[in-house]
Homo-oligomer: A and B are copies of this chain.
Amino acid sequence: MTMITLKPIGVLHSRVTRLEEVPFQWMISSLEGDIEIFEEYTEGLQGIEDLDYIVVIFFFHKSTKEYSLIQKPPWSDKMRGVFSICSPLRPNPIGLSVVRLLSVKDNILHVKNIDMVDGTPILDIKPYIPLKKDNEPLNSINL
């Protein structure tokens, strides 16, 4: 099957420059930082200020070690398959975080709850869509 090639649309700036200091999950992080969207993509941010939360897709650029299909997550003693955990060491080192969008200024998104290290390449930004198990109607902003 074909290989897929992607190009970063931006980069994360954060005070956390050492992997050891990165919160291991956005859910338990209160760290703030700035997502710089490269200027050629700035127009694509139109309307994003309406969102409280965004999904950030990024590249685990520090995941240079070999991955294993079975790993021990830091919060458990049990070994688990890589697709049931959020480890940065995975076949395709793509990360996903849901972060709070605090403010937008030009091409800079100031966000909270980050679990990425300074310099992380950003691949995509999407609106956060909550799962509604009762299938209630959506409001337009969530689509």
By a beta-carbon cutoff of 8 Å, the part of chain A in contact with chain B is 1-9, 11, 25, 27-28, 37, 41, 43-48, 50-51, 53-55, 57, 59, 69-70, 73, 75-76, 78-86, 90-92, 94, 96, 98, 121, 123-132, 138, 140, 142-143
Contact = CB atoms under 8 A, between A and B. Distances in A.
Given A1-B121, A92-B9, A84 B45 contact: yes
Identical copies of this chain, number? 2
A90 B122 CA distance: 13
A143 B8 contact: no
A124 B92 contact: yes
Contact of A7 (B8, B83, B92, B128): B92
A42 B74 CA distance: 22
A28 to B, nearest CB: 7
Contact of A44 (B1, B82, B94): B82
Given A75-B140, A123-B92, A124-B91, A41 B57 contact: no
A140 B72 CA distance: 13
A76 to B, nearest CB: 6
